[in-house]
Amino acid sequence: MFLVFTLLKESFGFALSALKDNKTRTLLSLLGVTIGIMTIIGVFSAVDTLRNNLEESVRKIGSRTLYVEKWPWDGGPDFPWWKYINRPEPKYGDFEAVRDRMTTAEAVAYSIYISNATAKYKSNSASNITVAAGTQEILKIRNLDIVEGRYFTDQESRSGGNGVILGATIAEGLFPRENPIGNYISLLGRKLQVIGVLKKEGAGMLIDVSNDDVAYIPFSMARNIVNYENYSPSISIEVKGRYSLEEAESELIGIMRSSRRLPPQREEDFSVNKTTLITAQLDQMFGIINLAGFCIGIFSILVGGFGIANIMFVSVKERTNLIGIQKALGAKQFFILSQFLIESILLCLIGGGIGLLFVFGLAALVNVAAGVAVVVSIKMVVLTTALSTLIGLIAGIVPAINAARLDPVEAIRSK
């Protein structure tokens, strides 16, 4: 065992010396592997980052939340819109029925969203904002994080008080140098008092679920300003932890059918949406993207592997005389074989390491420049290291075997 270790140590020294003596060739060999590893890790990191951001957007909607709406979320190129166009919108009476009768619900809220609104304060204005008008329970369902001020009281929600809670971007635009709490703004033709400011979230990648450009008001106030049925109302149901989404959905459908007095033979005239519809589509999409990324990465790696194999054949040719001398002095085939295998593996590992450094550097640059946290999976780093070693073995095995089998007399004469 000690002898094997000593031979490997000497082989490592010879391989390292060969790499140092041929710096240009080593650099060119590294370049192919570096690009290959950088490509495969970069593609998978980009996919993981995209997936992470999309799933974060889904989590904001609520992984244990059901939504009763007119339109289903599972659209597509063959979406039968004509089946849903004449459906009625969820009414406030439907919300009351669900709120009062549903036993599997932790919280039930009714909400509408009024887009393209403009808020004004003195000479400052914030345009293209969304006004979210919801019942009291929207706080819990949307996980609103209020960093300044407070939320609506039960009395304010029921009576339609003139309070408003601003998203971070709206508050920054209207009150660049003032504390917004207690001041009055103009919104939807009303004078509203700012009672709270939400934490800054940043934009979501899947759909616009960020609260930064949203102003929250009580639903009771909004229904006195607009016809709420024209703004795609939604009933949101947060399911209790001890119940499954399927149990809650079954109960919800029964309550909604009863509220709308639908006979058993009639199809539902409402949709129960949940984030699993989105995640199922995401899983299908990312399965295809991962396969495409894997193919791109493998082709890049193969190009680098062929380049190293070619270099190793040249290296064997150049060092034929030296191999002959070593064998004449008693060097075993294992010693010669290990020299070239270690050299090939070292090339791949160093190239892979440089590729990883490039990926981490680009990830840090994107994070600083665009504020996007790039996900570099540790699993992919380990896989890439193993892949680099495997490529080194494959690329170097044939040249190494050829070198180990050389006849010492013929090898010495070759120069």
Characterize 48-84 residue by residue with b for buried, 16 or more Cβ atoms within 10 angstroms of its Cβ, and e for exposed: bbbbebbbebbebbbebbbbbbbbebeeeeeeeeeee
Prediction pTM value:
0.65
| For the chain, domain boundaries | 2-58+280-413, 88-269
* Contact (Cβ atoms closer than 8 angstroms) between residue 359 and residue 49: no
What pLDDT shows up at residue 75? 65
Owner of token pair 């229904």:
223
Q: How far is the C-alpha of 111 from the C-alpha of 135, rounded, in Å?
A: 7
Q: How far is the C-alpha of 347 from the C-alpha of 271, rounded, in Å?
A: 58
Taking only the tens of pLDDT, the chain with its 415 residues reads 554 556 556 656 655 666 666 667 667 667 777 777 777 777 777 777 777 777 666 666 667 889 999 988 876 667 777 888 889 999 999 999 999 999 999 999 999 999 999 999 988 999 999 999 999 999 888 888 899 999 999 998 988 888 999 999 999 999 988 899 999 999 998 999 999 999 988 765 555 557 889 999 999 999 989 998 889 999 999 999 888 888 999 999 999 999 999 998 898 989 998 877 666 666 777 777 777 777 776 777 677 677 777 777 777 776 667 666 766 766 667 667 777 777 777 777 777 788 778 888 887 887 777 666 777 777 777 777 777 677 767 767 777 677 667 676 665 666 5
What pLDDT shows up at residue 110? 95
Q: What is the DSSP letter of 270?
A: S
Per the structure block, which two tokens stand in for 97? 């029925």
3-state SS, residue 152: coil
Number of Cβ within 10 Å of residue 266's Cβ equals 10
Q: How far is the C-alpha of 366 from the C-alpha of 370, rounded, in Å?
A: 5
* Contact (Cβ atoms closer than 8 angstroms) between residue 381 and residue 368: no
Kind of pairing, strands 190-198 and 271-273? unpaired
The count of C-alpha atoms lying within 13 angstroms of the C-alpha of 172, restricted to the half-sphere facing its C-beta, is: 9
What pLDDT shows up at residue 112? 94
* Contact (Cβ atoms closer than 8 angstroms) between residue 112 and residue 220: no
- H helical segments located in 237-377: 245-259, 275-318, 320-328, 333-370
